[in-house]
Homo-oligomer: A and B are copies of this chain.
Amino acid sequence: MSGAADAIKPEVMKQLFHPEIEDVVPADVFAALGDPIRLGILVSLADCDEVDKARCGAFTELASPSLLSYHFAKLREAGITRSRAEGTVRFLSIRREEFNRRFPGLLDSVIETARRDPSVPRIKIDV
């Protein structure tokens, strides 16, 4: 097409749903944490050296792409993580500040608990 002002950045991939942090409710948070793969995603994210630089594709040791997508959605819809698109890649990060404001201290205990436990799988994310 040949319009004049199509200066829109092409990187506007379909937006995934993120709840307002005020709408997030404890029971849903804990339900989202109630799966070893999702806890694995969380601690791996928490231990990632550079924040907001973890590609979704870095988690393939934990599950198949399609299953990962399912678990990413669970964490995202529970207000725990954020998914950001950049070109053909998607980056995953923890909604630290917001979440800490909503549920002070909770995330740290959860991550510490999951990090300490051998039943939680984890990967090294090379950014």
Residues on A facing B (Cβ under 8 Å): 25-28, 30-36, 39, 103-106, 108-110, 112-114, 116-117, 119-120
Chain B residues, CB < 8 A from A26:
33, 39, 113-114, 117, 119-120
Q: Are B39 and A34 in contact, with the CB atoms below 8 A?
A: no
Chain B residue nearest to A112 (CB atoms) is B105
Q: Are A25 and B109 in contact, with the CB atoms below 8 A?
A: no
Chain B residues, CB < 8 A from A113:
26, 103, 105-106
Shortest CB-to-CB span from A52 to chain B, Å, is 25
Q: Are A120 and B27 in contact, with the CB atoms below 8 A?
A: yes
Shortest CB-to-CB span from A76 to chain B, Å, is 16
Per the bound structure, the CA–CA distance linking A112 and B54 in Å amounts to 31
Shortest CB-to-CB span from A118 to chain B, Å, is 9
Per the bound structure, the CA–CA distance linking A39 and B106 in Å amounts to 15
Please give 13 more A-B residue pairs, beta carbons under 8 A apart, in addition to A105-B112, A105-B113. A25-B119, A27-B33, A27-B119, A27-B120, A30-B39, A30-B110, A33-B34, A34-B34, A103-B113, A104-B112, A106-B109, A106-B110, A108-B109
